[in-house]
Every structure is written in C-alpha cells, then in structure tokens.
Structure 1
C-alpha cells in the first residue's frame, strides 16, 4: 500500500499539523529524533535530496546568523574559543532549537510538495475554504516574481551602460541611484499590474479562482494521515514528559 495521502487538501492538513506540533518541541534530544523522522520520511518516499537542498540552502544564512547571534547575545555558562572571545553555551542550545525547527519544517514542506504541482496546491487551498483573494495574491506573486526580477536586471544593465560603477562596498552615490531605481521599479510594477488587471477584467475575471478536478478522496487517506502525524505527536508528548 502506498503511504502517500492521495487527497491533496488532506495532505495539506497533515503537513500543517506536523509543522505546528514539530515547532512546539523544545529539547535537543527530541528535536534530533524529530529530524531523524523527517529525514526518514524523505527516504521512504524516495524524494531526491536535491529537492530538499533547494529549500535548505535558502535557510542556511538564517541558521548561521542564529548561531552567531545567540552565541554572543545569551548569558549564562560561557566557553572560551580565543583569548578574548567567549560564546554562550545556552545561546548555542537556543540556536540549535530554532534551526532544528526550521529544518524540520523544510522537511515537511518537501514531503508536501513532492509530486504535488502548484495548481493542485492552490486548488486544494480553495477546497479548504481559504479566501480566494489570498489564493490569487499568492498566484500572482509567484507568476510575476520573475517578471519583476527581469525588469530590475534590465534597469541595472541600462545604468551600467550609462557609466554607473560601484567601486567600493559603501558608496553613497551608488546607493542613491539604486534607491531611485527601486522606486522606479515599484512604479512600473504598479502600472503593469493595472494593465494586467484591466485585461483580465475584460476577459471575464471576477476574482474567483477557477475550479479544477483533484484526486478523489480514499478511505485509507485518514490512516495515512495518522501515519504521518502520530510519530510527530508521540515525540511531542515525549518532550512534554521530559520537561
């Protein structure tokens, strides 16, 4: 029997439950078990590690920043790593807790989107009664993110062709030019969004996402949901007992 939840809205509910329960875990030992469970699910479903890494690499700067920040910000027991440099043991523990929660969330999201196209995901949100305006905002954000990026690159190229150079890391004149570029980019984006909106309205758009067919609900989906959620719930209860 396949362990994949076939009904997409139920799959989203299972992933949200796992994330909510997982980020409520506090202890290092329990978090290590939680990460092992998440990585085990990735292995069971044969999810390519490249999919997980694409999400994890975006979180690496935040993870590194948390270790640097909490190591010097927190008080308590200190360890010396240099004659004039000490870091907090409690800070390292707190940074690990936050980082482990973030990594587990990325593991669950990797499971959620494995084999689930984005149109199916957004249609599932509609089935879960999420207001259509939020679904449309997410759709337009994803659709036009690349458009705005390409427009910004063209504007930067135009500035370089006119002789703009940033010779040092801190250049006030260059930053002033870039701030004007950002304002111009926002104005262009607003004008383009108005043109797109008027064009969609002329073609019958009324702010309601179109309905699409989803995978049918199966009686075994509840059992699969429990198979996803119960291990995480058990670790959360273990964490409570450990406290």
Structure 2
C-alpha cells in the first residue's frame, strides 16, 4: 500500500487538518497515542531519522523550558523534591504542550519530506492562497541567508576595529549590538528597494510563478484517508472524554 501522499495540495490540506486536531486535544493520553501514530507514519513513509532530527532539535529547548517553567510556576498538586517543590499539575500541563509541539513537528516533517519548494508554493497557488502571502514566504526564504551574511560581515568589520566580546551584562556591548541591528535594518531596507525596482523593470507584477503539477491519483486520496482516520478517532475520543 502507498503510505506517502505525493500530490502536494492533498498533502498540505491533510497535514493542516492533522495539526489542527492535534493542538486542540486537551488530554495527555490521546496525545501520547498521537505521538506514537506520528512516529509510526514516519516509519511507514520511510522518513530518515536524520531528516526528523534536523527539525526536532529546534523545539527541544522549548520543551525543556516548558517542563521547567510549569512544574515550578504552578502551585496545584505540589510535591516536595529536595530543595524544590514541583507541581504535578504543572508537569502534566507542560507534557501536554510539549506533546502538541512534537506532534506538530512530526506532521511538518511528513509534509516537507520529498516535496520540493517549487511544488509547495505551486500547491499554495492551487489552494487559492493570496499571492501576497506566497510572495512574502518566498522573499523570506530567499533573503534569510542574505541577511545572515550581511550581519556576519558587519560583525567582522566591528572585530577588525577592535570590538571584543565582553560579559553578557555589558551596556557597551548592548549599545554596539543595537547600532549593528539598526544598521542591518537600514541596509536591508535599501537593498529591498533596489531588488524591488529591479524586479519591476523585468516585468514583475506580484503574480506567483505558475508551474505544472502531476494530477492526483486515487492512491493519494486513499493515503490521505488513512492519515486522517486514526487522528479523527483520537480527536473524537478526546472530545467525548471531556464531555
């Protein structure tokens, strides 16, 4: 059986529905089943663990912060743990938020596995997403590296003029970095204006690029139903449990 959805519009809609259901669940037990389901789908679609880890490593600090913050901030169901008093209610709350975040990352990993960026943007065009949002995403992805390189050059110029890294509690460093940030924003504005004028001179009128996508197959619709059915059942179980 085919597990991976190849038609980008179906894939985007399916993953969006899965994420909406996942973040709306308010009990921990269904979320644990969702995480197991998400990992099972990743295995069935043969997503490499390295591909998943490149995304999960960015959310692990948020998971650790939520576990630390809620267990110490909440005061319901306190339990003494040595020098600290932790809250079992806060621990459960942090686990719920963390499980939602991890499930969302699992689904986004499935979404972008074996989907090229041009296919993703063309699928957004097919789904009637306003062109201004598509263009904003395109420019953000395109010029993130440009901004990073510009910031690296400005930092190198400051070091060549004698700037040294001091402690974190240093008002001089804050003042220098704030001027660096302001200069970076001004340079970005000037560069964006030059890029915009250049694009307008080449015929750009704010219309996203049009590409051809392969037509959907019956296997894509079947795979979409297979992806949705377990999560819909878990969401229904969570809703009935709350009643």
TM-score, normalization by structure 2: 0.97
Structure 1: distance between partners of 2:45 and 2:223: 13
8 Å Cα contact 1:8/1:215 also seen in 2: no
8 Å Cα contact 1:47/1:114 also seen in 2: yes
Q: How does 1:7-156 map to 2 (within 5 A)?
A: 7-83=7-83, 85-156=84-155
Structure 2: distance between partners of 1:55 and 1:35: 15
Structure 2: distance between partners of 1:211 and 1:147: 25
Deviation of 1:219 after TM superposition, in Å, equals 2.8
Deviation of 1:210 after TM superposition, in Å, equals 1.4
8 Å Cα contact 2:166/2:173 also seen in 1: no
The count of aligned residue pairs is 242
Tell me, which stretches of 5 or more residues in structure 2 are unaligned?
Answer: none
Structure 1: distance between partners of 2:134 and 2:180: 30
Structure 2: distance between partners of 1:160 and 1:6: 49
Deviation of 1:60 after TM superposition, in Å, equals 1.1
Tell me, which stretches of 5 or more residues in structure 1 are unaligned?
Answer: none
Deviation string, structure 1 residues 6-64 (Cα, Å, up to 9, x no partner): 22111100000100011111211111111000000000011001111111111111111
Deviation of 1:153 after TM superposition, in Å, equals 0.6
TM-score, normalization by structure 1: 0.97
Deviation string, structure 1 residues 154-182 (Cα, Å, up to 9, x no partner): 10011011111122121101110110000
